[in-house]
A and B are shown apart, each in its own frame.
Chain A
């Protein structure tokens, strides 16, 4: 993998998934939006880059490909993670109850890790490589996962939920078939990332089911994938009204889409799981901060469903727990500060 990256001539950074366990809690907060003063225009930036390449080409005599001297490799990267970290990561994944939640967890950790790398290395944009096929599958999968409110950010071209780092999907116009043919004809080296292993007797995840469904349908009705994709294209993200972190989901950073919790079918099941907590039926801040129920108000509907299937709190990455506790505490103090003035006003009103 490293050799392949080096051959491209671009700066690259390698990160191990175990590093996701060491992320700071700040990764779950949207970063500051881009500053008001505009940076150099895109056209100027591209021209500057081309000039730079030309100069380097002239210096080398124009024949040699960019060598290691022009690359910014990550000096600390190839070091393997500590075995304890790997064990922790394995425990995290083993504790998850369903294959669907496992896939969602993996995606979440990867996203946060990429985001952290982008932030620390100073990248303003991240490009991910979802093909048209993958986008169509993701569209239907996310609908099934209860993330219908966020289809536009999850599958659209631009994903701006993180504030300072913009995620774009430039490959979403090209089907997997087109990309596969291109790679074959132009001898693009490919790397296979092995998928998550499913245990025997375990039902396949929703992701696998939808993939099988769509690809199967595509065989007989070749317009399937493109129709799903085009329909998804019509979705546009809602104007950003959730700016403060208390209005965003803890895990996916999308705007919280729940107003009244009493409507949720989820609440009764949580109460049944933890019968010893008295405060469960009422305001969540009454539940102890270390119980799973306390996390629920911080999550959007889709993430709540996933969260319910994750293992016990102790297995979750520290940054998730830290940020959740911080938000719970600040919600509690906000609640208390709201209550105080009312007590002062009551004597006058009665």
Chain B
């Protein structure tokens, strides 16, 4: 898939988000556990860092400090990319692929 000559439809990435929370933080997302989204085309690459920014702007309904800290997630929230620990995938620098599955599990007691 490398190189400059890829078709335009690969620009849109459908990412399946499953926010699964232990700790009551799904209230931050209107109680919805599973979000299926298609990320719009943009010149910056879609890595986790940008994904989190996008989530903060578009999905987080209240109290962003309970989910995010700075540009990363709050300590105590686990991130799984396609069922693998994000620490193995490069954390914030991981470049999202089409149909990726991102799961957030909170191990905190809440706010």
Contact = CB atoms under 8 A, between A and B. Distances in A.
Question: Helix, strand, loop or mixed for chain A's interface?
Answer: helix
Given A184-B105, A216-B75, A190 B110 contact: no
A88 interface: no
Interface of B is mostly: loop
B75 A218 contact: yes
B24 A192 contact: yes
Interface in A183-210: 184-185, 190, 192-195, 198, 207-208
Interface residues of B, number: 19
B44 interface: no
A110 B109 CA distance: 16
A193 B108 CA distance: 11
Interface residues of A, number: 22
A215 B85 CA distance: 17
B97 interface: no
Contact of B103 (A184, A198, A211, A212): A184
Interface stretch (B3-11, B15-23, B34-42, B48-56): B15-23
B67 to A, nearest CB: 14
Contact of A192 (B22, B76, B80): B22
A180 interface: yes
B105 A195 contact: no
B23 A195 contact: yes
Interface in B39-97: 75-76, 78, 80, 83, 85
Contacts of B23: 192, 195
B110 A195 contact: yes
Interface of B: 20-24, 26, 75-76, 78, 80, 83, 85, 103, 105, 107-111
